[in-house]
Amino acid sequence: MEERQPRHASEAGQAPEGSLAHRFQRGFLAGKRLSDFPWEDLEEILKNSKDSSPLLTILQKTVFHPMCLKYPPSVKYRRCFLSELIKKHESTGAEPLDQLYEALGDVLNSEETTHCYKNYLLPSGDAVTLCETVAIISQGTTGLVTWDAGLYLAEWALENTAVFCNRSVLELGSGIGLTGIAICKACHPRAYTFSDHHECVLQQLSANIRLNGLFLQPEVCGHSTAEHAACKAELARSQGPNIIVAELDWNLVTRERLMELQADIVIAADVVYDPELTQSLIGAVQKLFSCSSDGKAPEVYIAFAIRNPDTYCGFQAELDKVGIRWEVVPNPRKHLFPYDRRANITILRLLV
């Protein structure tokens, strides 16, 4: 469901066209589902407008936006978006608008690719840009696209920055990095370890971290003193958190390995979608709880998209069996990222 309140400081006090164009911009750059755009509001504005300026503003803020020109959504997405704009324009009985047809012509001349970009605008005005696959499942993994629970967890993190500020965070099943990159950009963690078990996911994740201007430490840094010093200097210059990407399989990870990572906070999004994963994830969480330093166990937060209530309840039952307590964390209040608002998503905090 589209929220009609302004969601961004710069939106408040704007004329309806400006605010609508802003909503189109946020949604388009992030690849929001086309059916979830505020088409009816656009139709209303076009009906009452003397010229095509509202559409031209939307074009400038979407298809011609510098971020889209540099990091475009998929060809199919841009084609469908422009076709919809053309339909809305022509339904008003207006003359065809050259700029719309030229933009569509350019897209029709572009080749479809297996990868595309999504740009998620943060409240600071900065963006998280991700390269992801067009197909939901590719290379045998679900990890090469961003999932709704990952967006939801990022939204929650941005409202709860104190949980992450100056802490060492470990993310399990990071996928291509949306949640962690947003946290690194907006929540000031001291250190952030992204992790996953799939080789292609780890490669795309590392590329995305660099694409966002974050300094990624080589996991084993410095074969020589000079390299080590250069690495430290680069990290100091970056002024960001100490970021690493770790290959970490919940089935294989040892307690010693988890001890090395010294996490204060552990997070994961959309990592429980079949019963086998439930067992291995809970095994990893048990190890994490057993390796608390100074008697303090890490805080663990898991975001779920509840597609099948049996899987969700099964996860809770397994937690109960091994004596891990859990509580539901309050929802984020503001809608920052475009995920399906009808989806049933929740965050559990796990406690020893």
Ligand X SMILES: C[S@@+](CC[C@H](N)C(=O)[O-])C[C@H]1O[C@@H](n2cnc3c(N)ncnc32)[C@H](O)[C@@H]1O
Name the minimum Å distance from CB 43 to ligand X: 33
- Interface contacts to ligand X, rule CB under 6 A: 141-143, 146-147, 149-150, 173-175, 178, 196-198, 201, 248-251, 269-271, 277, 280
Residue type, 268: A
- Between residues 150 and 189, which has the closer beta carbon with respect to ligand X? 150
Rounded CA separation 224/333 (Å): 49
Rounded CA separation 140/168 (Å): 31
Rounded CA separation 236/215 (Å): 10
Name the minimum Å distance from CB 345 to ligand X: 10
SS3 content of the chain, % helix, strand, coil (to 5): 45, 15, 40
- Between residues 55 and 248, which has the closer beta carbon with respect to ligand X? 248
- Between residues 150 and 298, which has the closer beta carbon with respect to ligand X? 150
Distances (CA, A) of 200 to 159, 171, 204: 31, 17, 6
Please name the residues in contact with 86: beta carbons below 8 A apart, sequence gap of 6 or more: 96, 97, 100, 101, 104
Name the minimum Å distance from CB 241 to ligand X: 18
- The helices-and-strands tally (H runs, E runs) of the chain is 14, 9
Name the minimum Å distance from CB 343 to ligand X: 12
- Which three-class secondary structure state does DSSP give residue 302? strand
- Between residues 20 and 187, which has the closer beta carbon with respect to ligand X? 187
How buried is residue 222: exposed, middle or buried, by Cβ count under 10 Å (0-12/13-18/19+)? middle
Contact 81, 62 (CB under 8 A): yes
- Between residues 250 and 289, which has the closer beta carbon with respect to ligand X? 250
Name the minimum Å distance from CB 273 to ligand X: 6
CA 8-337-174 angle, 5° bins: 135
- Between residues 82 and 181, which has the closer beta carbon with respect to ligand X? 181
Name the minimum Å distance from CB 299 to ligand X: 18
- Between residues 61 and 197, which has the closer beta carbon with respect to ligand X? 197
Name the minimum Å distance from CB 276 to ligand X: 9
